[in-house]
Structure 1
Amino acid sequence: MTRAIVVMGVSGAGKSTVGAALAARIGADFIDSDSLHPPANVKKMTAGTPLMDEDRWPWLQLVGAALAAESSNGTVVACSALKRVYRDAIRAMAPSTAFVLLNVATPVLRDRMTLRPGHFMPVSLLTSQLETLEPLEADEVGLVLNSDRGIEDAAERICGQLGSLHHKPAAKSA
């Protein structure tokens, strides 16, 4: 079974909630990569300024290090991982990482972000995230999942495909 999993997607896709539910189901450690952002990144996003690649590299190194750390339980990380190069940076440190891309309709994303109290990511940055998102490519280990049927359903469907995730490239799931 895959021991390092990134639940990825744009803000509001449900990365943290689905990732935590998945980790609980499989008995893995859970890390929300938002907690790994340097204060300067959080300050930029809070101000509505999109991060640049140079802002992301140190953060992605921390994400990769967290996934590469020895954990007998495995590790699930919620991380946007929007571009292929970001996922490559994570895989450079944790080569066996599998990615689960959560797809959600844009109006649902906007609603979720609006209803999310106290989060530093404003709705105004959603468009830039959607423009930046590069879907998983055929040679990347992972799956694409429509996560519009709820947290537990998404976690259950991911669990049902975990055994095969490590051995196949990205697959679409309904």
Structure 2
Amino acid sequence: MTRRPEKSSQIRFAWALVAVIVIYGLFAVILSVHVIDQQSSARTDLYAALETLDQLHQEAMASASSADVRSAITRAWQDHRAFAAGSSQQARLIADQLITRLNQEYPHPACGQKRPAFVAPEELPKQRACMVVVGIKNNQVRVTGYDTQGMAMDNFYEFLYAPTGRSD
């Protein structure tokens, strides 16, 4: 029959277990803060792109010549947070200008990446973490931001709850 461990052994084991749990908790907190910090810069990049599309949207609404054009512009913004261009050539031109402009305004990519943060869909690498894709679909200029895990972020949420600032 086995003997029960001594009281001092039980106390040492309890302290060791508490120490392991505390160290694990500290590492979890440090990692969470690091990920949140990295995520903040990725969110800021997406918000900058969405803010620029919103400015284009407002300018287009002000200069729209017909109710049909206004309706198309409004629908694109409401449905996808996208900018409705008049043609695919105009959409491509706007997308290219948007990529160039945002990469100049934000020369330091999110998450310490070495490549530009704003890219066209055909330039998107397999590891797309912390990148913003500026693409075209149905004559609409659309942006898609990717978080630190490479998952697409929600344009509606990110535009509604703007990040506080770029952290890098």
TM class by shorter chain equals under 0.3
Which structure has more RCO (C-alpha within 8 Å, separation ≥ 6)? 1
Structure with the largest fraction of helix:
2
> Rg bigger for which structure?
2
Q: Which has the higher strand share?
A: 1
Q: What's the TM-score, normalizing by structure 1?
A: 0.25
